[in-house]
Amino acid sequence: MTQVRLLDLIVDTAGQQVTRDDARLDVAGLNFHLLACLIAHGDAVVDIDTLMADVWAPAVVNEETVTQRVKLLRQALGDDSRQPRYIRSVRGKGYQLCRAPVPIAASRNARGRWFAAAAVVVIAGVIMWMTWPKAAVTPDLRSPLVRRAAYYAAIGQSENNERAISLYQQALQANPDDGDALLGLSRASSARACLFNGSRADTDQGHALARRVLEREPSNAAAWSALAYAQDCSGRIDDAIASYERAIALNASDNASRASVAYLYQEKGRLADALRMNLQLSGDASRVRFRDTQIARELELLGFVANAQARLSRIFQLDPDNVFANIAWPRCLYLQGRYDDAQLALEASLARHTPHVDLYVMQGELALQRHDRAGAAAAFRSASKLRPEATLPQTLAAIYGEPAAPPAWIEQRIAALKADMQAGQPWPGSMLEVALLELARGDKDAAVAAIARAVDAGFPDRAYLQVSPLFEKLAGEAGFERQLARISDEVARQRQQVLTADWKPADLPPPKR
């Protein structure tokens, strides 16, 4: 057992626990990883880049995330940033321990310095095991350009994704057959479309690059995962699920593919499967980007709203660059009918991150709640401009604009959407757009029929259908109420399945007898 003393604290790096006067402190997860990293460097200053690499990698975060985590660690230790006892900030550089940690076994003998050095090696080894499980046996053989591109790609911001694309392209100019660069460019191209309002051409490129690697390496799990991501971003949900499952079959420890297919299960209404997949990731699951947001959303859809709210509130505060948390938190408030709180959270999301089309659509819906049709139309136009290839914002902008869309346009739009759905693999939620168009031309029965098809395909969000002003004309309609009941029945079945499972989250209530 490796134990060190930090003033009046005993830090057990093997057991990952911290005690003071034999009382265990609540220092776990990332808090402990951060403390272990600082201990590994003795009382030297640890810069922000090192902390991000040692504590969060392979996920990449920004400086604000590190600052917030240090704040949480200080709170757990009972430290005060104004008069620090354990951890001090070094302006413009990073953080350091206020006193060098001392291995307990060496605190009273002349060999203290040797043991201190050995302890640093052991603790550093523990950190490497926690953050890079394969580092000891699988050295990173990628070119420097590809390694740097991967760093930027993982940050999750538009400008850094563009830097990654440029670096991957440079790497391919030097070596056109570099598989790591091909797959990196595939994923970054798909991300440009999926996260940063790119075009169909970007997902087409992502698809082609992944296929290029698979032609020569058909059992390459990473290539199947990249292909799945391109299919996912182009709306081919069933193909994406199949490709992700193929990647997992080839590499059971591929947490990224597991989390991604869990999201698609969620969209298809397979909520229990999605939650189980996310909870049963291998190794340190906290390193999987967006996993915690997905778990919170799955719990919300399953009716565990208080549990979901606590998780999303925490993520929204600690990870301001998490694009999905920036959508999920205001949406969680909105679906509870807390419209003023949702508006404030939405404004914070728009201010802190690259705007996302879903945020503008929500902004439009909140404007409709306030009977501000002009504000709603402006928000829907913003969504449409942000992603011109997305049909829903265009439909909403046309329906709520001045003048409203003419009947002929609505009929053509419905016909085009139905043709696309018949030819492709529509997401369950995409069928709601047809329902909105049917409502715009006054056909409630046809709107309910479209919602029924969405429910048939697995659409799981009853709260949205009830809360959104887009569907308020259907309130009280018998057919609409039957579809809401269908969703409730299916969610109740899966909720009970989760409550009786041995893998359920610890903060959920016991099942009803």
pLDDT tens across 243-269, in order?
A: 999 999 999 989 989 999 999 999 999
pLDDT at 397: 95
pLDDT at 281: 87
pLDDT above 70 (res 111): no
Q: In this predicted structure, which of 61-75, 222-236, 296-310 has the lowest mean pLDDT?
A: 61-75
Q: Are the beta carbons of 5 and 107 closer than 8 angstroms?
A: yes
**Torsions phi, psi of 506, nearest 5?**
-65, -25
Q: Are the beta carbons of 209 and 186 closer than 8 angstroms?
A: yes
pLDDT at 120: 39
What are the residues whose beta carbons fall under 8 Å from the beta carbon of 474, sequence distance 6 or more? 439, 444, 447, 448, 451, 480
pLDDT at 106: 40
Structure-token match 């919602």, residue found: 451
The two three-digit tokens of residue 241, written as one number: 């699920």
pLDDT at 428: 87
| Cα–Cα distance for residue pair 453/469, rounded to 1 Å | 20
| Cα–Cα distance for residue pair 142/8, rounded to 1 Å | 44
Domains belonging to the chain, first-starting first, are 3-131 (1.10.10.10), 144-252 (1.25.40.10), 405-513 (no CATH)
Q: Give the confidence band of 128 by pLDDT, cuts at 50, 70, 90.
A: very low
CA 268 to chain CA centroid, Å, is 18
pLDDT above 50 (res 52): yes
Q: In this predicted structure, which of 58-62, 353-357, 403-407, 500-504 has the lowest mean pLDDT?
A: 58-62
Angle (CA) 325 94 256, round 5°? 35
Q: What is the pTM of this model?
A: 0.69
pLDDT at 429: 85
Least Cα distance to 444 among 406, 484, 404, 480 occurs for: 480
Q: Are the beta carbons of 327 and 356 closer than 8 angstroms?
A: yes
| Cα–Cα distance for residue pair 302/62, rounded to 1 Å | 32
Q: 394 or 108: which carries more pLDDT confidence?
A: 394
The two three-digit tokens of residue 215, written as one number: 């032609």
DSSP 80: -
Average pLDDT, rounded, for the chain: 86
Q: Give the confidence band of 127 by pLDDT, cuts at 50, 70, 90.
A: very low
Q: Which of 25-29, 50-54, 195-199, 397-401 has the highest mean pLDDT?
A: 397-401
Q: What is the identity of the amino acid at 268?
A: K
Task: Give tens-digit pLDDT for 416-469.
Answer: 998 888 877 778 888 999 999 999 999 999 999 999 999 999 999 999 999 999
Q: Give the confidence band of 59 by pLDDT, cuts at 50, 70, 90.
A: low
pLDDT at 154: 79
DSSP code per residue over 27-42: --HHHHHHHHHHHHTT
Q: Give the confidence band of 204 by pLDDT, cuts at 50, 70, 90.
A: very high
pLDDT above 50 (res 503): yes
pLDDT above 80 (res 121): no
Average pLDDT over residues 77-93: 86
Average pLDDT over residues 276-293: 84
Please give the C-alpha separations between residue 7 and each of 30, 87, 402, in angstroms, as whole numbers. 21, 11, 69
Q: Mind spelling out the 3-state secondary structure of 292-316?
A: HHHHHHHHHHCCCHHHHHHHHHHHH
Q: 156 or 337: which carries more pLDDT confidence?
A: 337
Average pLDDT over residues 86-99: 88
What are the residues whose beta carbons fall under 8 Å from the beta carbon of 473, sequence distance 6 or more? 439, 444
pLDDT at 56: 76
Q: Are the beta carbons of 464 and 436 closer than 8 angstroms?
A: no
pLDDT above 90 (res 507): no
Residue 152 C-beta-side C-alpha neighbours within 13 Å: 20
Average pLDDT over residues 506-510: 83
pLDDT above 90 (res 139): no
pLDDT above 80 (res 145): yes
Task: Give tens-digit pLDDT for 5-43.
Answer: 888 888 887 777 888 887 888 887 788 888 988 988 888
Q: Are the beta carbons of 386 and 357 closer than 8 angstroms?
A: yes
| Cα–Cα distance for residue pair 271/299, rounded to 1 Å | 8
Structure-token match 């009977």, residue found: 371
Average pLDDT over residues 167-185: 95
pLDDT at 113: 35
Q: Are the beta carbons of 383 and 390 closer than 8 angstroms?
A: yes
pLDDT at 58: 56
Q: Give the confidence band of 129 by pLDDT, cuts at 50, 70, 90.
A: very low
The two three-digit tokens of residue 421, written as one number: 């759905």
CA dihedral 176, 179, 182, 184 (to 10 degrees): -140
Structure-token match 């009716």, residue found: 303
Residue 266 C-beta-side C-alpha neighbours within 13 Å: 23
Q: Are the beta carbons of 320 and 64 closer than 8 angstroms?
A: yes
Indicate the burial class of 332 (C-beta count within 10 angstroms; 0-12, 13-18, 19 or more): buried
Angle between helices 373-386 and 357-369 (to 10 degrees): 170
pLDDT at 243: 97
Q: What is the identity of the amino acid at 322?
A: N
CA 325 to chain CA centroid, Å, is 7
pLDDT at 109: 38
Q: 107 or 200: which carries more pLDDT confidence?
A: 200
Least Cα distance to 60 among 134, 160, 186, 133 occurs for: 160
What are the residues whose beta carbons fall under 8 Å from the beta carbon of 6, sequence distance 6 or more? 39, 86, 97, 99, 101, 102
The percent of residues in the chain predicted with pLDDT above 70, rounded, is 90
The two three-digit tokens of residue 247, written as one number: 């990647």
